[in-house]
Amino acid sequence: MTKPDPEFWKRQSLDTLNPAQWEALCDGCAKCCLHRLENSQTNEIYYTNVCCRFLNIDECRCTDYLDRTTRAPDCVTVTLDILKDPYWLPSTCAYRLLAEGQPLPWWHPLVSGDPETVVLSGNSVSGRVINELEVENLEHYLIDWIS
Ligand code: SF4
Ligand code: SF4
């Protein structure tokens, strides 16, 4: 039997990944679970520190992952099609990085071998965000700590 390639993302293109490899690419930062505003003229994206109501803020996990697209209609599943133009994803998102031909950063769990490096490097939203149910005007919650 062939051994799994521990650095598969370096040698395989996104369209050849199996479901387990695809899921493993997600670093769990949850930046994509934050509300963002877009300038319709320039397509510039502005992130807020307001998260989807289904995000467990402390654990940085979706509380209804299997039903997320029906429970949260705005929830986006990253697909190959979406990655054709991923400008709205965080610049650190592993899917976006690979789609744009960039390497994964040192703190990505696949590189560091430790999921905690996402937190230690300041790339997790854990504990730094507010549930959307507590917020009225998103424009008051713009942040610059997400690129
Ligand atoms: S931004 Fe990308 S890497 Fe981070 S949680 Fe979302 S899909 Fe995963
Ligand atoms: S439903 Fe879950 S995965 Fe989707 S945006 Fe909300 S918390 Fe994130």
- Calculate how far, in angstroms, residue 135's C-alpha sits from the geometric centre of ligand 2: 17
pLDDT tens readout for residues 65-122: 999 999 999 898 999 999 999 999 999 999 999 999 999 999 999 999 999 999 999 9
- CA-to-CA distance for 147 and 132, rounded, in angstroms? 20
Beta-carbon contacts of 11 under 8 Å, excluding residues fewer than 6 positions away, are 5
Residue 35 CB–ligand 2 contact under 6 Å? no
Mutate-to-test residue for ligand 1 from 23, 57, 77, 95, highest number of ligand atoms within 8 A of CB: 95
Residue 1 confidence class, pLDDT cut points 50, 70, 90: low
pLDDT tens readout for residues 7-54: 999 999 999 999 999 999 999 999 999 999 999 999 999 999 999 999
Is the Cβ–Cβ distance between 24 and 6 less than 8 Å? no
Res 133 pLDDT > 70: yes
Residue 52 CB–ligand 2 contact under 6 Å? yes
DSSP 50: E
- CA-to-CA distance for 44 and 28, rounded, in angstroms? 24
